[in-house]
Amino acid sequence: MRNLSLPALTAVLVSTAAGAQTAPVQVPYTVQSQPGARSGGGTVNDVALWVDPANPAASRLITADQNNGLFTYALDGGEVQAVTEGTSASVDVVGGFPLAGGRSAALVLSANPTLTGLVPYVMDSAADGGGLTRLSPTAAPLDVGVSYGTVRLVRGADGTLQAFGGLAAGGIRQFALTPTDGGVSATPLRDIPAGTALGLVVDPAYRALYVAQQGQGLYRYGADADAGITGTQVVGLGDGGLTSVGRIALYEASGVDGYLVASDPNANTFVVFDRRTLGRVGAFQLVQDGGTDAVEQSRGLVAFSGALGTAFPEGLFVAHDGMSSSTLGDNLKLTSWGNVARAFSPPLIIAAQPQADAGTGGDGGTGGDGGTDGGGGVIVNPGEGNPIGGGGGGDDDSGCGCTSTSVSAVATLGLLAMAFLGRRRRS
């Protein structure tokens, strides 16, 4: 049998190491929501986070309920408010929406199949009744007559408010949102031909739109309206540890570092990709301490890097649990991002928190101006239990879909190659 050359051997070993999948790590959740009489029952479709700028510990989670509309929850899991105007397939929030009198609030957009369109609300901490109120309640929904399964709010490169909607019939529509007298208008910018979009997220640093396409995997498009309509597959189903794909979220550790987190509902896991390289870092399951009542069939997630009071000083990860044995229905499971990060070896990046109150974008909202990176941000000092890195950061800002191999893996490959050469010389 012909002996392999060193380059050939190295290529085989690198390919094997890069393609190997590790078992998902287990992350304990610390809080779970307690749905009220009108919420729960296997009907949650999405979740968004509104950050209270005056008191981050008082921030709210907003769920889209396919039977009852919108519900808000405190970070201790208690239900705060129900807005039962039809149904909701998806929800998102972004800060900096101007109101009358020179004030601003967070804009909330709900994909409402009952009213057939995108229904705008505002989350205003000064408002009565829980804070979530319909914007211009007598006006028709945005893009009325069109059904959406997913919606995400973002800031354009020029700072303007924009929205991406995953059409129920397939494809993606991008809008410019313009404040009007007491309301908001939507101007279509482009339609992207695609399959059914189960998840959407925009990376503002790399101007990238990531789309979880049903039955296909993760795709990357340009986020700007003039970026064309052609996308690139980042990870197909069966690759990168994905057996299925659902909602996706972006954890912004700094202006350029962080992670793309994709829900894999079939495997009941969350797969983590490096934000810079899009190489797979690993996967995790969210479980009760002791490994029971794991999150299953998740249809929503949030990954936030800012401090939210003493309960979540290292950021927050939230996942919808489609089959909670604790509540005999579905609910939300919450944990510190620090718990997620330290479950990996080496640990993932944890964003450092500012010493002074740096704000959260003026009025909450985590979709592009929620203060998650503080205009560049910083990363926690490397040290035992939290080294910088987590899956191939490096200096590559290209956003390529490369698979990264760790330093320890490369060192192991080198030792194997040296041993192989030594054996050949002895023979």
* pLDDT tens over the chain, length 427 residues: 344 344 333 333 333 333 345 899 999 999 999 876 566 566 899 999 999 999 999 999 999 999 889 999 999 999 999 998 889 999 999 999 988 778 888 999 999 999 999 999 999 766 665 689 999 888 899 999 999 999 999 999 999 999 999 999 999 999 999 999 889 999 999 999 999 999 999 999 999 999 999 999 999 999 999 999 999 999 999 887 899 999 999 999 999 999 999 999 999 999 999 999 999 999 999 998 766 678 998 999 999 999 999 999 999 999 999 877 666 678 899 999 999 999 999 999 999 888 654 344 445 454 433 333 222 223 333 333 333 333 333 333 333 333 333 333 333 434 444 444 444 444 4
Q: What b-and-e string marks burial along 15-41, b requiring 16 or more CB atoms within 10 Å of the CB?
A: eeeeeeeeebbebbbebbbbbeeebbb
> Which of 20, 47, 43 lies closest to 263, judged by CA?
47
> Which of 404, 48, 42 lies closest to 199, judged by CA?
48
Judge contact between 391 and 277, C-beta under 8 A: yes
Which tokens sit at 52? 């209270």
Which tokens sit at 129? 């009744």
> Which of 93, 24, 31 lies closest to 331, judged by CA?
31
Residues 6+ apart with CB under 8 A from 115: 85, 86, 141, 144
Can you tell me the distance from the alpha carbon of 425 to that of 427, in angstroms, rounded to the nearest whole number? Answer: 5
Q: What b-and-e string marks burial along 360-389, b requiring 16 or more CB atoms within 10 Å of the CB?
A: bbbbbbbbbbbbbbbeebebbeeeeebebb
Give residue-wise pLDDT tens across range 278-328: 999 999 999 987 666 789 989 999 999 999 999 999 999 999 998 776 666
Can you tell me the distance from the alpha carbon of 202 to that of 275, in angstroms, rounded to the nearest whole number? Answer: 11
Quick one: CA dihedral 308, 295, 257, 234, positive or negative?
negative
Judge contact between 77 and 32, C-beta under 8 A: yes
Instruction: List, in order of start, the domains of the chain with CATH numbers.
Output: 25-343 (2.120.10.30)
- Kind and range of the H or E element at 93? strand 90-98
Q: What separation in angstroms does the CA of 154 have from each of 13, 163, 238, 263, 266?
A: 42, 6, 30, 21, 29
Can you tell me the distance from the alpha carbon of 424 to that of 129, in angstroms, rounded to the nearest whole number? Answer: 77
Please name the residue ranges forming H helices in 58-138.
none
Give the largest CA-CA distance in the chain. 86
Q: How far is CA 297 from the centre of its chain?
A: 16
Task: Outline where DSSP puts E strands in 275-315.
Answer: 280-287, 301-304
Judge contact between 45 and 90, C-beta under 8 A: yes
Which tokens sit at 18? 């890069």
Judge contact between 40 and 321, C-beta under 8 A: no
3-state SS class at 411: helix
Can you tell me the distance from the alpha carbon of 294 to that of 283, in angstroms, rounded to the nearest whole number? Answer: 14
Judge contact between 151 and 90, C-beta under 8 A: yes
Judge contact between 223 and 237, C-beta under 8 A: no
Is 0.75 topped by the overall pTM? yes
Angle between helices 407-426 and 6-19 (to 10 degrees): 150
